[in-house]
Chains A and B, each alone.
Chain A
Amino acid sequence: MYQRILVANRGEIALRIIRACRELGIESVAIFSEADRGAHYLDLADEAICVGPAKPADSYLRIAHVISAAEVGNVQAIHPGYGFLAENAHFNEVCRSCKIDFIGPKPEAMSKLGDKNAAREMAKKANVPIVPGSDGVISNPDEALRFAHEVGFPVLIKAVAGGGGRGMRVAANDLALKSALQQAQQEAEAAFGNGAVYLEKYIEQPRHVEVQVLADHHGNVVHLWERDCSVQRRHQKLIEESPSTSINQKTRDAMCEAARKLIQQADYTNAATVEFIVDKDGKYYFIEVNARIQVEHPVTEMITGVDLIKQQILIAGGEQLSMRQKDIKQKGAAIECRINAENPARNFQPSPGKIERLIVPGGFGVRFESHAHSGYIVPPYYDSMIGKLIVHQPTRAEAISTMQRALAELRVDGIHTTTALHQDILSHSAFVKGEIDTTFVERMFSFG
């Protein structure tokens, strides 16, 4: 097993990884930018190395500095966390050539499943349902119409080179399709320099349901059930929970097994999350694979009792998975609320600055994952998430009740946070009834 690991991240996930290392008896080397100098969580690592100025591109994303820190820190492995370099296949390769283990998949597996089209092809081959899409670029209105009539309206036009929801248009009929196609092509050209578009069936009232998978280097692959992440705003998750209220057990079993098989067939190792979209009739479609540990991994940890970060380290170190599929059960209900330093009343404007006082909630079934503390200054350069509040209870109703209690106890004085918004969402009848799709937040709540 490793003696020393470099934690190539910051904030709550860096703290999470440091904690796992401490429990495994592994020394940790933390990195930090000048903006994070003096953060308390750095004291919990065995060593901390400054890798650059505040801007991520000059520090946390600066591969040369991160690798140098790994060499100077004398580590055998690097845990990339999530975001930053976690899905950077080039960084993964550099680690390999420097003889440092990357705690995650091999570069080839990362590239293979990271390519959206290749992943869709693999899913098709594995008989996993995918969102029906045009096989390639749609260049003229006739092709578009043919496809739309085949899969049925409404259809979604997406930019091939796209991202962030740009170059996307929904069309509900023939007439709308012609103009939508043109608009999408123009927007894609302007935004990405590539006007090529393709079509997908538009899933109405979609639920976002993802499956956690772990695979070791000995051919063992298990799924750890699903997480429902439908409470989103502009494609950013706000609340995640497990089990999902939008699928029945039959669908759950099928979806989770499909995810497990896909990862196995891709020869992928370490942690992965397979994302699906579920339509209003409960039918599921594969979207993509996230080849990293995710922000919301604690939800799965509470439900299954499995420490996912430790498992990542053990897998990378060559250990066999200690649990078998039949041993992994879903117990109770867990919910996570992402506490962001943002002001919902002003269109979620980031709210960096000094936390004058932080009071952390506690009690039975409450878990708070955060690097923040009273007096902590939230820097303006990074993601606004300052903590994750997770609860676990025997039933969903009890989990909601505990989360409400915990949110009311949480005090983050000095900056704005999304705490009150979570309280509103959790008390909304649609959420309580479990009737949410990814449009819920934007439909039900108006901001600023």
Chain B
Amino acid sequence: MANGGAGSGEVFDVRKVRRFVELMNEHDLSEVDLRQGDQRIRLRRGQEPVVSVAAPQPAAPPPAAVPAPIPAAASAAVEATEEDANASYVTSPMVGTFYVASSPDSPAFVNVGDQVGPESTVCVIEAMKVFNEIPAECSGSVAAVLVSNGDPVEFGQKLFKITKVG
């Protein structure tokens, strides 16, 4: 999703986190630990910037300083390393929710390493209560699945990386 904002499931949005980091730099703080209700965010500045974001959880206490990359930054990093001449991408032709299988009990349509052809169904996207099977529209082997089961996806979003064979 562009401009990763506070999506339906996320607690902290990217802009707020970025702002905290800015403030830390401005005031030369090395560590910030904020808590509100059962939500917590802890940032430590140093050689390896560490961000831990704890979503509200009923049981176990959050582990200390677990690196949890911000989703927007992560996908940018992933994209930067994945451009190569042999790769093509299956992109979403619609706005909706991505599912790897036709139902919760079914096996995934494709897994990493599978061969696909143009007509191969690689996933379904649910939009307005209608489940649409999405064809690969290219040939090759599935190199990576770029979104997770149940993720909202927008038009044009990269779903699978396919590497051409030979």
Contact = CB atoms under 8 A, between A and B. Distances in A.
* Same assembly: yes
Interface in B122-147: 127-128
A68 B2 contact: no
25 contacts: A27-B6, A34-B156, A37-B2, A42-B3, A43-B3, A45-B5, A47-B3, A48-B3, A49-B95, A49-B155, A50-B95, A50-B154, A51-B155, A52-B155, A53-B155, A64-B127, A64-B128, A65-B94, A65-B155, A68-B128, A69-B154, A72-B97, A72-B152, A74-B8, A98-B128
Given A48-B3, A71-B128, 13 more contacts: A42-B2, A42-B3, A46-B5, A47-B6, A48-B5, A49-B1, A49-B154, A50-B2, A51-B95, A53-B156, A68-B95, A68-B128, A71-B96
Interface of B: 1-3, 5-8, 13, 94-97, 127-128, 152-157
Interface residues of A, number: 26
Closest 3 CB pairs of A and B: A68-B95, A72-B152, A47-B5
A51 B94 CA distance: 7
A67 interface: yes
Nearest to B156: A50
Contacts of B3: 42-43, 45, 47-48
A134 interface: no
Main DSSP-derived SS at the A contact region? mixed
A59 interface: yes
A65 B125 CA distance: 12
Contacts of B154: 49-51, 69, 72
Contact of B95 (A42, A69, A98): A69
Main DSSP-derived SS at the B contact region? loop
A64 B58 CA distance: 38
Contacts of B6: 27, 46-47
A123 B53 CA distance: 61
A43 B15 CA distance: 10
Interface string A344-356: 0000000000000
A72 B13 CA distance: 17
Contact of B155 (A59, A67, A73): A59
A52 B8 CA distance: 22
B12 to A, nearest CB: 13
A72 B95 CA distance: 8
Interface of A: 27, 32, 34, 37, 42-43, 45-53, 59, 64-65, 67-69, 71-74, 98
Given A47-B6, A49-B154, A67 B128 contact: yes
Contacts of A43: 3
A45 B128 CA distance: 23
A134 B77 CA distance: 68
Contact of A49 (B2, B97, B127): B2
A445 B152 CA distance: 52
A371 to B, nearest CB: 15
A34 to B, nearest CB: 6
A32 B1 CA distance: 12
Nearest to A49: B154
Nearest to A47: B5
Contacts of B94: 64-65, 68
Contacts of B127: 64-65, 67-68, 71
B5 to A, nearest CB: 4
Contacts of A73: 152
Nearest to A29: B5
A50 B97 contact: no
Contact of A50 (B7, B96, B155): B155
A299 to B, nearest CB: 32
A247 B94 CA distance: 51
Nearest to B127: A68
Contacts of B96: 68, 71-72
B61 to A, nearest CB: 29
A51 B154 CA distance: 6
Nearest to B2: A48
A72 B94 CA distance: 11
Which of A34, A48, A50, A51 has its CB near the most chain B CB atoms (within 10 A)? A50
A136 B3 CA distance: 54
Contacts of B8: 74
Contacts of B156: 34, 50, 52-53
A65 B95 contact: yes
A395 B157 CA distance: 53
B40 to A, nearest CB: 22
A52 B93 CA distance: 8
